[in-house]
Structure 1
């Protein structure tokens, strides 16, 4: 993060006392209670950081304090970056959203839709229409995640280690494996959180002609100065990688009990983490590590219409397209979702091209603005961008799963409560 102190919240229409209350809440309810090791919260409004706070520890076992430059596994917060990368190719005229996916992945041309059976003896039917590129970006492709634990299809994903936190194989092997597994539904018929964005990463490499990870570095990270964002943590930065933890059942079940303590189980030791070396599988759906400062840089470029400091990623009209609800019939997630899990609440929320999109704040029962867009990661990291309020919020910790506690709802409520001068 910048070394200079944040701008006074009051100069940006926010209350310092209300923002400080969030830190007190995080410390008391989560850190002191043993549910989070430590946290980092950054709030940016009207062109300035108005709140930046780190608390607790990045590594409980070694008692390493959380710092401004701590590196986090951002998991599915990789998805918006991958989606922007793909839309850069769309802007170049190299690919179109309504093209069939099998134009670029011929082995998928005859993918069927699951009817019955188990791997490898699936019974299928033809899809109502071919999968289109737009289906991958908005998760209406018919693909799934193995952790959904819902069907014989996602069981086949688990058998082949497709869509796990540490995916096996390579992007090429994943594409080949998926050619042998039927779709959950005909493309466009439903919404299901899935490996679709990993496929988008594969397509970025195939269409651009350079490896996906190289494209991100050359076209996004280096130009914006996102020096700490990559698919692995180099040796000179390993001391900054946070430990990752699993929330325990005790912590989750005691959450609403006054004075009850939670506990955390080490899930990924930063001294031995797989993130310390370049991965075989380059996951556009969940493979990046980053810092709050780097992710804020990316978000600032989006809030600014796709450009920051003279570096333009995408045009404002393309960004507007990405942050519009693309679910068929302008439906929201409850009307279309088959997912057992996703990094978003549902009611009043639609989905664009790489982001959830708030359609109706009243239905969410949380303060917000129409057009706000967001996503989160498996280890409870999250961000949202509210163009109407010129607001960005980024939250970092390292606790799996992200559904363990209602922290995202609490943060939205408390950050919006700190606004004293609304643009609406």
Structure 2
């Protein structure tokens, strides 16, 4: 395990400030820890442009899909108790998924379907279930957008949303392809059914309280409301547009203000993208992943989660969807991506890095080889707007001695 060159670490602060000065990000922060010790923290810019409030270390941010590793880990704590096996069909828990259909190969219309088996828990966890997102291309993405199946904080609860989703066809036969999806939102509902508790109650009991993550919740904690960041987009359309999208005249157009956000009082607990929290809270989670479970989950289970669960790299499974990470050189485990080949991924790193990001451009990775936890927070949707993630990885690895 190498150390860090202090002068080279300072490049991170310069890079962050340049993003703020170019109005790419309103504000941002980065936190690095190695061997359990903090080696770098920087912050820059504003958490709320109109109010002129600075981005600070205790700023509360939407972490969107960085919720997925939390949900996945909680499900695995239940699996450790022998309550189910990962090859169990989701219909065992959610009967609405019992009679499924999927689009035929090459389908251009939503009515071009054939019967198929319900996806398994493992397929939901690894994005091989046949589910999709409303912003993905293809007939299913279009159907989801038409029916507003988005699992947003402002929508009705998990149960009716999962029932509405189950009434649609799958994008492909489960297990045959990889497509980024709401599968882990469905896993969140499975957790509720298995435990008889709300998803947040399970998270608090099994993860947040044991780790001291007291400011990470589905709704902004009342005591933290004055620290909640605003969220922006450079796009002319809705911020959750990916792929070909036109940029608007204002690169920091407000799409979710801190004072009227649905995250102040969420009505849907999205296991795929619903948490808000602080950067220090999330470091507690990544350090638990890095150090073997901290008594929350068994180290062998954690090692199993952080392995590649696909036949090869994500790109080999024909995805047509958006994802929070490169698809070449990357596999996928349970709850996050696994680095298989840094050269193929075109970004430095150790084989076995475990990582994922969120739609508002947040990002984390855990490097077991270098004993490193790295977390980046900002609030800009979509995360495909700028190449901040590979740039940050290059800066961090370039600073190592």
* Structures share fold, TM-score greater than 0.5: yes
Question: SS of 2:135's equivalent?
Answer: helix
Which structure 2 residues correspond to residues 54-73 of structure 1 after superposition, within 5 A?
54-73=43-62
Shift of 1:166: 4.5
Choose from 129, 141, 146 the match for 1:159.
Answer: 146
1:124-148 C-alpha deviation (Å, 9 max, x unpaired): 2122x54211001100000000011
Which structure 2 residues correspond to residues 366-377 of structure 1 after superposition, within 5 A?
366-377=347-358
- Structure 1 position 413 matched with structure 2 position 394: yes
Counterpart for residue 201 of structure 2: 214
Counterpart for residue 344 of structure 2: 363
Question: SS of 1:112's equivalent?
Answer: strand
The answer (yes or no) to whether the contact 1:323–1:352 under 8 Å persists in 2 is yes
Instruction: Write the distance in 2 (CA, Å) between the matches of 1:110 and 1:138.
Output: 21
Which structure 2 residues correspond to residues 296-375 of structure 1 after superposition, within 5 A?
296-307=283-294, 312-327=295-310, 329=311, 331-375=312-356
- Structure 1 position 37 matched with structure 2 position 20: no
- Structure 1 position 385 matched with structure 2 position 366: yes
Question: SS of 2:91's equivalent?
Answer: helix
Assess, with a 3 A threshold, how the Cα gap between structure 1 residues 248 and 181 changes in structure 2: closer, same or farther. Answer: closer
Choose from 212, 218, 226 the match for 1:231.
Answer: 218
Instruction: Write the distance in 2 (CA, Å) between the matches of 1:220 and 1:164.
Output: 22
Question: SS of 1:168's equivalent?
Answer: coil
The answer to which of 34-43 and 154-163 deviates more is 154-163
Question: SS of 2:124's equivalent?
Answer: helix
* Runs of 5+ unmatched residues, structure 2: 237-248
Assess, with a 3 A threshold, how the Cα gap between structure 1 residues 220 and 351 changes in structure 2: closer, same or farther. Answer: same
1:98-128 C-alpha deviation (Å, 9 max, x unpaired): 1111111222121011135756xx242122x
What CA RMSD, in Å, does the superposition of the two structures yield over aligned residues?
1.6
The answer (yes or no) to whether the contact 1:147–1:163 under 8 Å persists in 2 is no
* Runs of 5+ unmatched residues, structure 1: 1-10, 250-260
Counterpart for residue 253 of structure 1: none
Counterpart for residue 160 of structure 2: 173
Shift of 1:215: 0.3
Counterpart for residue 88 of structure 2: 99
Choose from 8, 32, 38 the match for 1:18.
Answer: 8
Shift of 1:167: 5.8
Question: SS of 1:388's equivalent?
Answer: coil
1:316-346 C-alpha deviation (Å, 9 max, x unpaired): 110111011111x2x1111114233111111
Instruction: Write the distance in 2 (CA, Å) between the matches of 1:154 and 1:132.
Output: 20
- Structure 1 position 74 matched with structure 2 position 70: no
The answer (yes or no) to whether the contact 2:153–2:267 under 8 Å persists in 1 is no
The answer (yes or no) to whether the contact 2:2–2:370 under 8 Å persists in 1 is no
Counterpart for residue 272 of structure 1: 260
The aligned length equals: 387
Question: SS of 2:76's equivalent?
Answer: helix
Which structure 1 residue ranges, 4+ long, deviate > 6 Å from structure 2?
A: none
Shift of 1:168: 2.5
1:190-245 C-alpha deviation (Å, 9 max, x unpaired): 00000000011001111112111100011111111101000011332111001100
Counterpart for residue 127 of structure 2: 139
The answer (yes or no) to whether the contact 1:33–1:262 under 8 Å persists in 2 is no
The answer to which of 316-325 and 105-114 deviates more is 105-114
1:33-73 C-alpha deviation (Å, 9 max, x unpaired): 11111110001112200001111111110000111100000
The answer (yes or no) to whether the contact 1:158–1:164 under 8 Å persists in 2 is no
Shift of 1:397: 0.5
Instruction: Write the distance in 2 (CA, Å) between the matches of 1:365 and 1:413.
Output: 10
Shift of 1:169: 2.0
Instruction: Write the distance in 2 (CA, Å) between the matches of 1:27 and 1:102.
Output: 49
The answer (yes or no) to whether the contact 1:161–1:167 under 8 Å persists in 2 is no
